[in-house]
Amino acid sequence: MLFNYQLNYSIIIPDGHSPSSITSGDCKAIDPNDKKLAENMVKNHLVVPIEDTSSRKLLSIDDITKAVGTGCVPKLTEVDCARSLCYHLLYRSFDGVCNNLNKPLLGAAFRPYF
Domain ranges in the chain are 1-48+57-114
> What mean pLDDT comes out for the span 67-86?
75
Residue 21's SS3 state is strand
pLDDT above 80 (res 49): no
Q: What is the pLDDT of residue 58?
A: 72
pLDDT above 60 (res 13): no
Q: What is the pLDDT of residue 54?
A: 65
Q: What is the pLDDT of residue 8?
A: 41
- C-alpha to C-alpha distance for 84 and 42, rounded to whole angstroms: 10
- C-alpha to C-alpha distance for 96 and 92, rounded to whole angstroms: 6
> What mean pLDDT comes out for the span 34-55?
71
Q: What is the pLDDT of residue 55?
A: 64
